[in-house]
Structure 1
């Protein structure tokens, strides 16, 4: 019976007949339901937005499921829509560790991280590099041009950050803020971000000229003379977020894209090419991944 039921469950799932799945499995005695059947039941309950029941079913097979990326993703999905973001985050992080790179998992990871409560900790500039787990030694190229156009002498205060976020109408990524508290704006030594193998004239990477700091006084700072709002309003760039990096060409920028995450979420990083009809190319799921992906040409 079970062998005949599984193809039917999949067929019902493809046809969005989720009630049929629930009814069929619930008719089976509890002691006869195995891991696969309960997984089908939990998935169907998720699709019916019966998330509390779904969590109950998934927890009943937790011992078997904890090493299964799909189990972690599905229970994370239920926790997310129950607004239990800490539990959802743990589940999605486990799913990502078990099966790195899954697009659905990465999408919900970003969404959940933007909503999960952050532990309030005071971080001194000397401790920031430990917190963000990134070695910034020899990261910056403090040339005369960089110091004049990009680098702001003082790290941003919390008051300044709040002020700029209100002006930009977007919450800045935590990793970016930590970076700027160590070195506020500048030109990195590694300025190329790979975008895949070349095809018929396409670039293999995009190149940045500098990273805008948190401030107003430097020309190339977030709210400076050539900052984010200026580039968007005078360059016609799409109103999707914040210009975070200049490119050598005046017709290109790198932006934080908040379309999926919302203004308070963790934005993706994209490249916008004005000369190519403002083509948007996704670079990284978040700013930290973008920084870690920078390479020398």
Structure 2
């Protein structure tokens, strides 16, 4: 099979999600110890912006093929686009050492072809990635990961929290939440819901937010800083945007390929291209999740927002545009 034919075939399989067929093709190359074609197969995933899958392929031949220049450049690109720029820098430099001057195949016409340009990009973003990772690691290490009980919200936090127009009430607001509702959601999703979330849902079972902005703790001139949250999902499964509704947490993980780290709790104004999650990855399904932002358009980059759901709700505020609109 010619290389162009292989890329076309694999790309078609990726679009149709025929991953078993892809595995069989790659397995055949591995059995033949044809690492050149295994490496080349990853390019189809890079072209389709499926960097996680590309890394899985390349990791499987890393020991045998890491001195190959083509491997190094593909591995570097997959790492770079997986928000691992600090690791990518090492592999871009190694690719250059192996004689790579330009990248023949790129997954975007906006990407440079010159290896030197890629090294410049990685050198710019690598220290920023290291700083952000260190900052968020420290936040995770010091936060309370045990369930926080007997939570209540201040009246000033609840004041003006929700929208109450006809659309909001119809699409987001569920019937009064019960213990049975919480238990059903917990069974279906496999996570203990935070007591702070339950306390808020007993006051109002989901809704569109009027206080729809949150200021992230990591503030640098090259970060967005502020994050929007359009709605909070409730536990009335008859509502499409509830946790177990048509557009609930499983939908975003299974259909939109968000990382399976917890519960998609808030939608944003992007219509699914970024989401707010309860993140149980450092506390387990019975622990107290932190709150994170996940950018689907940015390689599913995860940004730490708050130690827990209560702190997240307490930190929500109304945008200036909405305040001017009210005036």
Which category of TM-score, normalised to the shorter sequence, fits these structures? 0.5 to 0.7
Equivalent positions of 1:157-168 (< 5 A) are 157-168=178-189
Q: 1:252 & 1:106 partners in 2: Cα distance?
A: 21
- SS of residue in 2 equivalent to 1:235: coil
Displacement of 1:163 in angstroms is 1.1
Asked whether the 8 Å contact 1:186–1:212 carries over to 2, the reply is yes
Q: 1:192 & 1:172 partners in 2: Cα distance?
A: 22
Asked whether the 8 Å contact 1:213–1:222 carries over to 2, the reply is yes
Displacement of 1:238 in angstroms is 0.2
Instruction: Report the equivalent of 1:281.
Output: 303
Gaps of 5+ in 1: 1-102, 120-130
Q: CA offsets, 1:12-36, max 9 Å, x none? A: xxxxxxxxxxxxxxxxxxxxxxxxx
Displacement of 1:155 in angstroms is 1.7
Displacement of 1:145 in angstroms is 2.0
Asked whether the 8 Å contact 1:252–1:274 carries over to 2, the reply is yes
The answer on 1:199 being equivalent to 2:221 is yes
Asked whether the 8 Å contact 2:206–2:242 carries over to 1, the reply is yes
Asked whether the 8 Å contact 2:160–2:211 carries over to 1, the reply is no
TM-score, normalised on structure 1?
0.57
Equivalent positions of 1:57-76 (< 5 A) are none
1:255 corresponds, among 246, 271, 277, to 277
Gaps of 5+ in 2: 1-136, 320-327
Equivalent positions of 1:202-213 (< 5 A) are 202-213=223-234
Equivalent residue pairs, number: 181
- SS of residue in 2 equivalent to 1:237: coil
Q: CA offsets, 1:189-243, max 9 Å, x none? A: 110111254524x323111110000121111100011010111100000000000
Instruction: Report the equivalent of 2:75.
Output: none
2:245 corresponds, among 209, 224, 228, to 224
Asked whether the 8 Å contact 1:110–1:261 carries over to 2, the reply is no
- SS of residue in 2 equivalent to 1:141: coil
Displacement of 1:160 in angstroms is 1.7
Equivalent positions of 1:1-297 (< 5 A) are 107=141, 110-111=144-145, 113-114=146-147, 132-135=152-155, 136-152=158-174, 154-195=175-216, 196-197=218-219, 199-200=221-222, 202-249=223-270, 250-297=272-319
